[in-house]
Each structure stands twice: as C-alpha cells, then as structure tokens.
Amino acid sequence: MNVVNLQMLGTGDAFSKSYYNNNGLLLGQGYTLLIDCGTTAPAAMRQMGKSFHEIDAVLITHIHDDHVGGLASLAGSMKDHGRKMRLLLSETLVDPLWQHLLQKGLAAKARAERLADMFEIKPLQADRYCELSEDITFKLIRTPHIQGRDSYSLLLNEDVFYSADMTFQPELLLKLVRKEGVRKILHDCQLTGPGHVHTTLKELMSLPEDVRRLILLMHYSDRKPDFEGRTGEMDFLEQHKIYSL
C-alpha cells in the first residue's frame, strides 16, 4: 500500500483563535480527502496556498460549526465552477446537516432546496469499510460526544484511529491497540477542566504507556504552549505539518 499523509488545516478547538478548526487533509496517491470542513477551513486553505478544487471528497464526522461551518463556502466555490463536491457522512447525519444549514441560513445563500442541490451525497453506514482509492479506506465508528446527537470517529486503513470530538473511551482505545492492531491514534484533547463532552489530557494520561506512545493530540485550546512538555509520551499534532500515516 502506498504511503498516505495527513496535513491538518487546523488543530484547535471550537474557540481557538490561534490554531484554526480541527480539520485535516488525508493525502493519498491521486486522491485527497478533507476530514471535516469547519468555519475556518476556507481561510486555512488560503493560508496553505490550497484550493477546494484540489479535494476529491469531504468527510463529516458530526454537525458542529467547527466541523461543518465552512461547507456552504465550499459548495459555493464548487458551484462557480460547475461542480458539486462529494460529501461523505453517516446516513444518520444527512437530515440533521440539512436542518443545521437551513437554521444558519447557509442553504439560502447557496440557493439550495435540499442537501443534494449543494453536494453529491454518499450516505454511509457505521462499521462498514468504504474504499476511496487504492490507498485510502476507512470506516465510521460511532463514539459519544453530546447526548442525543450522533458523532463518528474514523478508522483509517484499518490501523489509524482518528477521533471525532468524543468523551473518554478507554475500553475502545485498548481494544483498538491490543486486539485490532491500531498503531497510531490522533485524539482530540481538552487541556483543562472536566471532560463533559471531550476527552481531557488528564484522562489520556491515565492510559497505559504502550497506548500513550501511539497518541498525537489535536483539537486543543490556545493554552497549548502552557502544556508543551507536560503530555508524557504524547506529542501535539501541529497544523499544516505533513505527517506520514
């Protein structure tokens, strides 16, 4: 299998002013997948010297503005060039995403009457692998974030776990590493406070050492500089840097 790279548009949480929203580009050989498209995604793409037209598809993990707030801008950019972006998301998120766009007034700006007017939609089922190219496959794993709202993390190429925003799930992480052979974990990390809807640094630090060594931290606050050197075996994922997966 060819080398697949990851380049984060941003690594910040929903309130970050320094690190953009936690969205990433999965870069295969001849195929580029954008994982989430938050409010700051258009600005981050411009800063990186990239265009949405370089992307083959967008994958949405859940419906919060730091993960979907840039979709209308993306759809408008595509429409100006006579193209619809392919949108990958759980079948359970299709209707809620459309309702979210309507409530935000984004659908009206895009002159859309349904989500399919804005995107080429590919609904997905959880726990089933989807092959995007010869070197990129993934499956959705439903993980808890906010009660009553669906959210999905990703298993990439069977051995890389990419968390959506999620509460601490130690049993899942142990299973992925020790039973399923996951060798890298890209995990959201709330640096301070209790983890009501996110996994905290303190919780991740409680994991066994062999699991911690596999973790790169993302979706963190602007207080990141205060925590550098205080995350044990875990390193921070840096925005715009290219990582080999």
Q: How do residues 180-223 score in pLDDT, each as one tens digit?
A: 999 999 999 999 999 899 999 999 999 999 999 999 999 999 99
Burial 28-57 (b: 16+ CB within 10 A, else e): beebbbbbbbbbbbbebbeeeebebeebbb
Q: Are 217 and 228 in contact (CB under 8 A)?
A: no
Q: Which domains does the chain have, with CATH numbers?
A: 5-244 (3.60.15.10)
pLDDT bin (cut points 50, 70, 90) of residue 92 is very high
Note the pLDDT of residue 1: 52
Note the pLDDT of residue 186: 98
Q: Is pLDDT of 157 > 70?
A: yes
pTM: 0.96
Best CA proximity match to 219, nearest among 22, 39, 16, 82: 22
Q: Measured between alpha carbons, how far is 202 from 194 in angstroms, rounded to an integer?
A: 9
Q: Measured between alpha carbons, how far is 196 from 182 in angstroms, rounded to an integer?
A: 26
Note the pLDDT of residue 181: 97
